[in-house]
Chains A and B, each alone.
Chain A
Amino acid sequence: MRAFIALLAGTIFGAGLALSGMVDPARVRGFLDLFGTWDATLAFVMAGALLPMAIAWRVQSRLLHAVSGDNFALPSTRRIDAPLAVGALLFGIGWGIAGLCPGPAIANLALAPLAVLPFLAAMLAGMLLHRLWAAQR
């Protein structure tokens, strides 16, 4: 049941990425390209996504558990630290370089599987590198 709900959510998410044009690396890079032919689409996507989520958080604060009966498993860290900042900066650089973030990259397995494969392989390698690096510290 929980996996089915997650599959449904992932499918809606992937449809949203495709419909909004966010699966297109050129369009995402167009948003980040302030000195080129700027493409504002991503701002409208964010606005559309934030709206239902902002309402959902208000509902969530009044619930004891999720509809499935599961307890809420939500991030509880509040510390603003160097890993958060450095991680976000590295991610932003990679995002700008390729025009891809994790969601659109995975969704592209259905649209341009061969083109996205090198990015996805490198992304998983980067995640694995982080795990090895974190284990050493």
Chain B
Amino acid sequence: MSALFANAAPGMGFLGGLLIGIAGVVMLLGIGRIAGVSGLAAQATGITGSDSRAVALAFIIGLPVGAALVAMARPIAVTFPSSLAVLIVGGLLVGFGTRLGSGCTSGHGVCGLSRLSPRSMIATGLFMAAGFATVAVMRAFGWV
């Protein structure tokens, strides 16, 4: 296991994943909604209509609050791409793509896959494949 996962943090990854899943459970069973971040972000900002903007806004505010709580207990290293163009092009594609495709890693990837939704299975397969291919191309051009 150690050779293949030399760069990975399996334990912390799984533990953090459990928390993400539990958050999804709280949304689903607690108030009957999907914990899909792209959709909730669009509702919270008023970019798409919502019957409960307060719910969306509260969830979105919680994200940095939760990250800040963990950061108080242990140092969290984040390394961003140094190129401004990379961040802007990436952001535009993520914003447009998640609205067009009705979801992102959380909505399709976590909530949809666990529901065995055919739409989410296809979306997750496609955005994973596109992600792998994009980084492979960037590597081929020496941009990674």
The answer to whether residues A71 and B135 also contact, given A20-B15, A40-B5 and a CB cut-off of 8 A, is no
Which residues of B lie under 8 Å from residue A119 when comparing CB positions?
A: 87-88, 90-91, 94
Question: What bracket does the count of chain B residues touching chain A fall in?
Answer: 35 or more
Q: Are B122 and A14 in touch, CB under 8 angstroms?
A: no
Query: A92–B59 contact, CB under 8 A?
Result: no
Cβ–Cβ contact A93 & B93, under 8 A: yes
- A39, A52, A77, A97: the one contacting B25 at CB < 8 Å is A52
In angstroms, Cα B138 to Cα A93, docked, is 11
CB pair A127 B87 closer than 8 Å: no
Instruction: Contacts A6-B31, A37-B7, A52-B25 given; indicate if A14 touches B64 (C-beta within 8 A).
Output: yes
* Chain A interface main SS type: helix
Across the interface, A4 reaches (CB within 8 A) one of B58, B68, B99, namely B58
Contact B86 A13 (CB under 8 A): no
Please measure, in the bound complex, the distance between the C-alpha atom of A130 and the C-alpha atom of B45, giving whole angstroms: 14
Q: Are A12 and B22 in contact (CB under 8 A)?
A: yes
- Contact present for B63 and A97 (CB under 8 Å): no
